[in-house]
A = this chain, B = another copy of it.
Amino acid sequence: MSVVAALGFESAGVAAGIKRSGGLDLALVVNRGPLQHAAAVFTSNRAKANPVLWSQQVVADGRVCAIVLNSGGANCFTGAEGFQTTHATAEEAALALGVSAGDVLVCSTGLIGEQLPRERVLAGVRAAVAALSAHDENAASAILTTDTHAKTAVARGAGWTIGGMAKGAGMLAPGLATMLVVLTTDAVLEPAELDAALRAATRVSFDRLDSDGCMSTNDQVSLLASGASGVRPDVAEFRHALVEVCTDLAVQLQGDAEGASHDIRIEVVGAASEDDAVEVGRAVARSNLFKAAVFGNDPNWGRVLAAIGTTSAEFDPYAVDVSMNGVRVCAAGGPDRPREEVDLTPRAVDVLIDLKAGAEAATIYTNDLTHDYVHENSAYSS
């Protein structure tokens, strides 16, 4: 149960023949109402895929009836022909569902720069409409690319539910087709409330996942609300539950990141501002040398400090403390406990950085840099 855990939703996942493997590659999620409210956030990459350009227009009025997602091709840098494929996909779904194409979101994931097989996509849409079910288990699988398993999450409030599914092997899967997320709820909320809650939740969850520093052209997180529970939730409670679902999915994405052998949690405390904490965590998360050291189970805190030094965050290099898996290896910018005391063999690695510059904090989630990451991203072409 994922996107259909909330009342008012049906979904389907079918094999449309887009992927050469013949596996599930097209998903459809339909909001049967009574409300069809929605919000969505998109990649900030200025090179946006055709489905992103389309979906930004669709969601502008806060009304969405359905969302079509395909794996097997990103439909990015595919020009006018690619945009027409996205448009035709929405039209096909709209026709079969009896709604307006302007209320159908589209997401694509896969290799950049190649056209989708349009007729197969359209036939897949028709097959998905025919397969729609409130008990569907296939949609979350049909959106996967190099992911090794489906990722779903559910949170329940007082009479309402949030469900979600996600794909993405880190921030960026091969071919630059990456994180797609669909969240559904049967709570009664206005589009503006959904939008504010979604932005607040993604800011502290998906935006803090930085597996390989590469930003996708296709990222899209959509939140659809059916109002089918008839319950208007406490907005603070709803927001809290949404953060929970988003963080759950983000951590699942981290755990399935391409080639990763460690899930690294970088907690930055003692920052002068939350922005400083995020900047520091992200700089460490993007240091190939730090990430390669973690792969080698080497608690190389010098690489942590060198990464911090590249930021504009407020800190004194000779005040900073760094702990790795509970052992403070660096105190006040100098050696503390011996490196040998740190055990980095577990998959989970906790890095705690105290900037000693204030009271703000943030946590960034990343992965190590491994032979398998290099292999998957150098050998991928299908």
Closest chain B residue to A45, Cβ basis: B309
- Residues of B near A174 (CB, < 8 A) are 289
Rounded to whole Å, the gap between the CB of A73 and the closest CB of chain B is 11
Q: Which of chain A's residues 232-277 have a Cβ closer than 8 Å to chain B?
A: none
- A303 within 8 Å of B by Cβ? yes
Bound complex: CA A217 to CA B300 (Å) = 14
- A373 within 8 Å of B by Cβ? yes
- Residues of B near A366 (CB, < 8 A) are none
Is A305 a contact of B47 with CB atoms below 8 Å? yes
Is B79 a contact of A377 with CB atoms below 8 Å? no
* Interface footprint category on A: 35 or more
- A298 within 8 Å of B by Cβ? yes
A289-B377, A333-B77, A369-B374 as given contacts; A306 in contact with B213, CB under 8 Å: no
- A351 within 8 Å of B by Cβ? no
Bound complex: CA A170 to CA B303 (Å) = 15
- Residues of B near A378 (CB, < 8 A) are 292-293, 295-296, 298, 369
- A286 within 8 Å of B by Cβ? yes
Kindly name the residue among A295, A309, A379 whose own CB sees the greatest number of chain B CB atoms within 10 A.
A309
* Cβ 8 A contact of A374, one of B74, B303, B370: B370
Rounded to whole Å, the gap between the CB of A84 and the closest CB of chain B is 13
- Residues of B near A48 (CB, < 8 A) are 309, 317
- A231 within 8 Å of B by Cβ? no
* Cβ 8 A contact of A306, one of B214, B287, B292, B334: B214
Q: Mark A331-372, 1 if CB is under 8 A from B, else 0.
A: 011110000000000000000000000000000000001110
A293-B377, A374-B371, A377-B288 as given contacts; A306 in contact with B47, CB under 8 Å: yes
- A114 within 8 Å of B by Cβ? yes
- A76 within 8 Å of B by Cβ? yes
A288-B213, A310-B45 as given contacts; A305 in contact with B77, CB under 8 Å: yes
- Residues of B near A307 (CB, < 8 A) are 214
A46-B310, A335-B77 as given contacts; A112 in contact with B288, CB under 8 Å: no
- Residues of B near A301 (CB, < 8 A) are 113
- A172 within 8 Å of B by Cβ? yes
Bound complex: CA A301 to CA B77 (Å) = 10
Going nearest first, the 3 A-B pairs with the smallest beta carbon separation are: A112-B302, A296-B378, A47-B309
Can you list 30 residue pairs at the A/B interface with Cβ under 8 Å?
A45-B309, A46-B308, A46-B310, A46-B317, A47-B305, A47-B308, A47-B333, A77-B317, A77-B330, A77-B333, A77-B334, A77-B335, A79-B318, A112-B303, A113-B330, A172-B289, A174-B289, A175-B300, A214-B287, A215-B306, A217-B302, A288-B369, A288-B377, A289-B377, A292-B377, A292-B378, A293-B378, A298-B380, A370-B374, A374-B374
- A5 within 8 Å of B by Cβ? no
* Cβ 8 A contact of A333, one of B79, B216, B289, B295: B79
